[in-house]
Amino acid sequence: MKRLFFVFFIFLMLSPIKIGAQSLIISVESREFYPFFFVEKGSPKGILLDMVRDGLTPLGINPTFKPLPLKRGLKMVERGSVDAIIAPRIKNNNFLLPDDAFEKDISAHRILQIDSVAVTYKSDYEYLGDIKTLPTPIRITLGDPIESLFNENGLSIDDATSGTHNIKKLIRDKRGCVITTSLKAMTWLEHQKYKDKIDVSTEPVISRSYFLIFSKKSNFGQHKIQLVWNEIAKNRDDYIYPIKLFTAY
Amino acid sequence: MKLRLCLVVMVFSLCSSLNAKTLEEWAKTFEPSALSIEERVKELKWFREVSKDLAKKLDGKTIRSAAEHIKTHFYERDVLSEAFFDITGIRVKHNIIGEGPVVKEIMTQLRTGRVIEHIYVNDADLIGTHLRYQGVVNLSEYMKSEGKKYTNPYLDLEDWLNLEFGQDYSGNQLQLPDQQFSNLYWFRYDWFTDPKNKADFKEKFGYELGVPINWAAYEDIAKFFTGRKQTNPDGSTVTAYGHLDYLKPSPSLGWRFTDAWLSIAGVGDKGLPNGIPVDEWGIRVENKVPVGSMVERGGAMNSPAAVYALSKFMEWLKFAPPEAKDLEWHTAGPRGAKGDVAQRIFQYITWLSTDAFHQKGSPVVGKDGYPVWRVAPTPHGRYWDEGMKVGYQDAGSWTIPKSVRDSYRAAAWLWAQFASSKTVSLKKFLVGGTPVRKSTINHPYIDKNIKKWAGLIEFYRSPAEKKWTDSGPNVPDYALSVTWVANLEKALKDFHNGASIPELAQKTMDQMAKDQDEMMAMLKLKKYSPKMNPIKSKGYWLKQPGSPKPERKPEKPETIAYDQLIKQWK
């Protein structure tokens, strides 16, 4: 009997099912979108991941982040192979997004609003909202869904695996532009090598609410989903939380 | 259909342009002004000429600015932004939001680089934050370089009141004051000079009823008036309260303390505009680096003086109207005008411009149409020493985040200069009661109507005004104030549940100091980032000269006659 109990105990210890803690598999883009998401030494990291993790913790939920190319991640959410994905709004009958996701440009239940700006070589050019005026080639990071916006307008694109490659190319070629997050652009403006050579647009090329989009096929209940969105929003709008969050990057 | 639509659009545009005032008409609108009509036209013409190319470039765009909900900013939104558009062709949307959201928005913008607004009217209390984050435009540099072309030749920075509030340690202007608001002692002059009140007070307390110089006298006066029947100029008889305060859980509960309440109690060190090494928020700063709030680190946030500051706040609630628990800073602001409050130690002048304090028939306006209330210097606590700041004042200040660049930056800068220009400033003051220029305060129009402001003008004209200062550069991140709100809310809950005051105040300030230090230790700022001192015994620090100061005995109450005081200010 004692032996049986011991075997059962060992089984429990080794079991992937943790009693009291529900797990959740979340897909996140595998491209570099520093500091919001990126892969470092094989581990997915970033501000959006931290915010999702912190939103899930009070509910006793432990997320596992799976870095995948966006298209593949979306397919997996559609099939229910993963529970959720971190992405901008996407219309799909199999996805569960906050009610206001398509009504407002800045959703109340977003994880974060992220602006992408145009970084150009120092000149008189100023981006004022017309993407057709952007100097080409337009450099983006590989796999950025923003690509479609430029394709629709027939603008030539040059993609690289990281923003660092893009800014180096811009400095080298002295032409074209780099599309990056306002946060990343801010760091380049403080960088000794780049600060006197670049301009950053005030106006964003695109501003996107990033969401934790759930699969309708996930076993995660609608009520719990709402609680997670609420928790994320509460943290985001807090005064103290962002200090801790941004200090880490 | 298309033709009809075109016609409608044309008629609409025609109507809009017909409604637009000419530059000369606007110049006349800003009457009275520190400038003659010719000078106003000249200044406005400069704005028109310099904006021509910019307006073309920004055609169809809107400059977004944000400010808190006070009369001054409503005037900017409703009148000045319209004038600015008519004159320059640059459209401005001046968003009036609460001060809390203003701080939240600008901090989000600084952290993420995401442009939420192009310019903010942000309290200069955040100067310590801005100089450490390095996230806002250095206006001194901008005026000399790319912004030179867009800098008003008639700006006259020498004319500004307390320009230093918006400056970093090196005197660089990071924020340009737009409206100045002090926090003063407010009282019922008519009740204080009433012979019966004077005689009864003298008999009871053994000294003259007058403007309290210290908290001991303030407390005696509060005791004296609370429950006493008083009459108002409108004929109403009231049962008076000797004090007024607010304690509703809200960000403004934090400001009740962060707006120099600890300094007023005497927590800090000597030095102007802020005590060195310890002053605002009980933070010790060494070589511009914050090193701690706890007494154990050389700070003073849980020192005997800070405990005394919180204790008195709670003790005096018994002299205040019961609705104090439901009031915030903006609802408590005009509360004194109801006519049943004898004095208030912590009155933001921002609210003294509300109609209730001035209109005929108000319980606080005399038959001659002038206020029967006055403002006077803030009484100080028993830990206060000569050479320290006396009270709080700050300036909502134009602040441009670095993420706003090129044409947007230039347009935002023009808007800021226009809204605080000599042409408009006097008129703006008459509406909102928050001055920003010396030429406003010293204008003959103000001389003629000086009685209307009941001591405020004398205050601003006096050199003593320099002793009322803002949070200053000691505070490394204004968001630290959130720890204050959370701890104060808890303390007030315990207080209402009957907790004993000195113990509760000590426990609260201990926790607050610990929380603030934990947060400061976490900050990684670009300049002068906090570096916590090692922990030593409280006794060690309390034996050192200056702040943190050891326990002091209660002080002797002191008062001064208002009319004598005003002479000192002159």
Per-residue pLDDT of chain B in tens (570 residues, 90 and over written 9): 445 554 554 554 444 455 679 999 999 999 999 999 999 999 999 999 999 999 999 999 999 999 999 999 999 999 999 999 999 999 999 999 988 889 989 999 998 899 999 999 999 999 999 999 999 999 999 999 999 999 999 999 999 999 999 999 999 999 999 999 999 999 999 999 999 999 999 999 999 999 999 999 999 999 999 999 999 999 999 999 999 999 998 888 999 999 999 999 999 999 999 999 999 999 999 999 999 999 999 999 999 999 999 999 999 999 999 999 999 999 999 999 999 999 999 999 989 989 999 999 999 999 999 999 999 999 999 999 999 999 999 999 999 999 999 999 999 999 999 999 999 999 999 999 999 999 999 999 999 999 999 999 999 999 999 999 999 899 999 989 889 999 999 999 999 999 999 999 999 999 999 999 999 999 999 999 999 999 999 999 999 999 999 999 999 999 999 999 888 777
User: For position A20, what pLDDT does the model report?
Assistant: 46
Q: Which two tokens stand for residue B115?
A: 């442009």
Write out chain B residues lying below 8 Å of A112, CB-based: 112
Nearest to B467 by CA among B270, B313, B265: B270
The domain total for chain B is 1
SS3 B213: coil
Q: What is the 3-state secondary structure (H, E, C) of A175-239?
A: CCEEEEEHHHHHHHHCCCCCCCCEEECCCCCEEEEEEEEEECCCCCCHHHHHHHHHHHHHHHHCC
Which residue of B61, B402, B523 is in closest CB contact with A243? Answer: B523
Strand partners, A37: A33
Is B546 within a domain?
no
User: For position B98, what pLDDT does the model report?
Assistant: 84
Q: Answer whether B341's CB lies under 8 Å from B373's CB.
A: no
Which residue of B108, B112, B482 is in closest CB contact with A240? Answer: B482
Closest Cα of chain A to B405: distance in Å? 6
Answer whether A92 touches B (CB < 8 Å).
no
Query: Which residue from A minimizes the CA distance to B478?
Result: A239
Q: Is the pLDDT assigned to residue A97 strictly greater than 70?
A: yes
Mean pLDDT of A72-81: 95
- pTM of the predicted protein model: 0.90
Q: Choose, out of B61, B99, B258, B406, the residue to mutate when testing the contact with A (most A CBs < 10 Å).
A: B406
Is the Cα dihedral B181, B183, B185, B191 positive or negative? positive
Query: What dihedral do alpha carbons B329, B330, B333, B338 form, nearest 10°?
Result: -120
From residue B276, how far is each of B133, B284, B512 by CA, in Å?
22, 8, 21
Quick check: A182 and B403 CB within 8 A? yes
Write out chain B residues lying below 8 Å of A203, CB-based: 115, 408
User: For position B191, what pLDDT does the model report?
Assistant: 98
Closest Cα of chain B to A239: distance in Å? 6
Distance from the Cα of residue B254 to its chain's centroid: 14
Query: Which residue from B minimizes the CA distance to A113?
Result: B114
Answer whether B91 touches A (CB < 8 Å).
no
Answer whether A239 touches B (CB < 8 Å).
yes
Q: Choose, out of A240, A241, A245, A249, the residue to mutate when testing the contact with B (most B CBs < 10 Å).
A: A240
Quick check: A202 and B404 CB within 8 A? yes
The domains of chain A are located at: 20-111+208-247, 115-207
Closest Cα of chain B to A124: distance in Å? 10
Instruction: Flag the least confident range among A82-96, A213-227, B16-30, B225-239.
Output: B16-30
Which residue of A185, A203, A242 is in closest CB contact with B113? Answer: A185
What are the tens digits of pLDDT across the range A36-63? 999 998 899 999 999 999 999 999 998 9
Is residue B52 exposed (0-12), middle (13-18) or buried (19+ Cβ within 10 Å)? exposed
Is B60 within a domain?
yes
Domain A20-111+208-247 sits in CATH at: 3.40.190.10
Q: Answer whether B511's CB lies under 8 Å from B487's CB.
A: yes
Give the E-state strand segments of B134-264 in sequence order.
176-188, 211-212, 229-231, 237-239
Q: In which domain, by residue range, is B439 found?
A: 23-181+395-457
Q: Which two tokens stand for residue A106?
A: 């800045």
Could you please state the CATH topology (level 3) that the domain comprising A115-207 is classified under. D-Maltodextrin-Binding Protein; domain 2 (3.40.190)
In this structure, which amino acid lies at residue B155?
L
Write out chain A residues lying below 8 Å of B58, CB-based: 128
| pLDDT band per the 50, 70, 90 thresholds, residue A8 | very low
Q: Answer whether A176's CB lies under 8 Å from A156's CB.
A: no
Which residue of A115, A201, A237 is in closest CB contact with B114? Answer: A115
Nearest to A92 by CA among A104, A108, A80: A80
Q: What is d(CA A100, CA A234) in angstroms, rounded to the nearest whole number?
A: 16
* CATH, residue B107: 3.40.190.10
Answer whether A207 touches B (CB < 8 Å).
yes
Cis preceding-peptide flag for B548 (omega within 30 of 0) = yes
Is B547 within a domain?
no
Q: Which two tokens stand for residue B310?
A: 């919180």
Q: Which two tokens stand for residue B223?
A: 């005791």
User: For position A247, what pLDDT does the model report?
Assistant: 80
Q: Which residue has the higher pLDDT, A203 or A143?
A: A203
Quick check: B407 and A126 CB within 8 A? yes
Q: Is the pLDDT assigned to residue A17 strictly greater than 90?
A: no
Contacts 24+ apart (CB under 8 A), B189-198: B189/B372, B189/B373, B189/B374, B189/B454, B189/B562, B190/B233, B190/B366, B190/B372, B190/B373, B191/B225, B191/B230, B191/B240, B191/B342, B192/B342, B192/B562, B193/B562, B197/B224, B197/B228
Quick check: A237 and B402 CB within 8 A? no
Instruction: Please report the ipTM that was assigned to this predicted complex.
Output: 0.85
Q: How many CA atoms lie within 13 A of A25 on its CB side?
A: 15
Is B77 within a domain?
yes
Write out chain B residues lying below 8 Å of A243, CB-based: 477, 479, 519, 522-523
Sort strands A177-181 and A138-141 into parallel, antiparallel or unpaired. Answer: parallel
Mean pLDDT of A109-117: 96
